[in-house]
Amino acid sequence: MEKQVYTLTDAQRIGFASIFVLDKMARKGRKFAVAPTDPDEMALRDVIQTLFNERLIEIQGAYYALTEAGKERVRRFRQRYEEYLAVYDIYCAVDLAAGEFAFERYYDFDDDAWRLYLQQERWEDLRVAVAIHKKLDPVEIVFMSFVMEGRFDDYADGKWELGILSGELWNEILAIVNSNLHPCELGYATTDPNDPSRTLEVTPDDVMGDILARGGQITLELVRRGKEIEAEQQALQPAATTTETVYDYDFVIADPYVYYTPYLSPYYVSPVWTAPLYPTVVVRV
């Protein structure tokens, strides 16, 4: 199978940007004027208009505000984001020859040592391959990694409004998608251990199945270890009454171990990845 080359239309880019902006409004309290005078806000006019056309925001006085539908989209975006962090980011560093994941040792290092560990040349980034195999949009997976790493926020001295629209960053996302390994590149031939004269063909589906099965196990182990560490830290702290505010656009997982258990199956894809998220975009000619 020939390796596919991915592209990104203006409509897709505005769709990604609009959800990013919606999240900024919900979680960071960013306000956008109905009649903007700020150049950064004016640059987002197509994005804001898309959100308004989709009824994800509405006019309240001089500013736009989230509608209930908008809050639901933010909640869905955060759910995808949380699943990306817990499920898909672990495939960023896999040693194909040894069958090892860097994340198997995630809790063995402090932050600086972890960053150095990830820089070892033996690691392959398989996040794009996993997305393609699961029939997800690999561009969205890389977009999520840019969100996680703050790449849009770091653009031009923190001017995220320019970062989310930057052709430079979107071209970088496409370059990553198209240069990373795809499933079609992961098949190989090996010698039959029971008959050295015979060659066995290991298909890309076989390779991806093994990788995803191991990834599911590592996900649950990281969840389990994370809960243990959290409990240990709470036990060391003096008893105190704390109140945590949960907003109606937050996504909360009551029991992460139960939530992520279905990912033990290499074929599982959460319904949140197939539910509508990005608005319909009409690009002005």
What SS3 string covers the chain? CCCCCCCCCHHHHHHHHHHHHHHHHHHHCCCCECCCCCHHHHHCHHHHHHHHHCCCEEEECCEEEECHHHHHHHHHHHHHHHHHHHHHHHHHCEECCCCEEHHHHHHHCCHHHHHHHHCCCCCECCHHHHHHHCCCCHHHHHHHHHHHHCCCCCCCCCCHHHHCCCHHHHHHHHHHHHHCCCHHHCCEEEEECCEEEEEEEECHHHHHHHHHHHHHHHHHHHHHHHHHHHHHHHHHCCCCCCCCCCCCCCCCCCCHHHHHHHHHCCCCCCHHHCCCCCCCCCCCC
Q: Which two tokens stand for residue 134?
A: 């699961």
Compute the average pLDDT of residues 213-233. Answer: 92
Taking the chain, what is the end-to-end CA distance rounded to the nearest angstrom? Answer: 36
Lowest mean pLDDT among 68-72, 88-92, 232-236: 232-236
- Closest-CA residue to 114 (of 103, 101, 99, 129): 103
| Confidence band for 282, pLDDT divided at 50, 70 and 90 | low
Interhelix angle 138-149/167-179, rounded to 10 degrees, is 120
- Domain extents in the chain: 10-271
Query: Could you report the per-residue pLDDT of 2-44, keeping only the tens digit for each?
Result: 899 999 988 899 999 999 999 999 988 889 999 999 888 888 9
pLDDT digits (tens, 9 = 90+) for 181-212: 999 999 888 887 878 878 888 899 999 999 99
The Cα angle at residue 147 between residues 209 and 42, in degrees rounded to 5: 140
Joined tokens for residue 13:
């880019």
Judged by average pLDDT, the poorest of 47-56, 156-165, 187-196 is: 156-165
pTM confidence score: 0.88
**pLDDT the model gives residue 133:** 96
Let me know: does 16 contact 8? Beta carbons within 8 Å: no
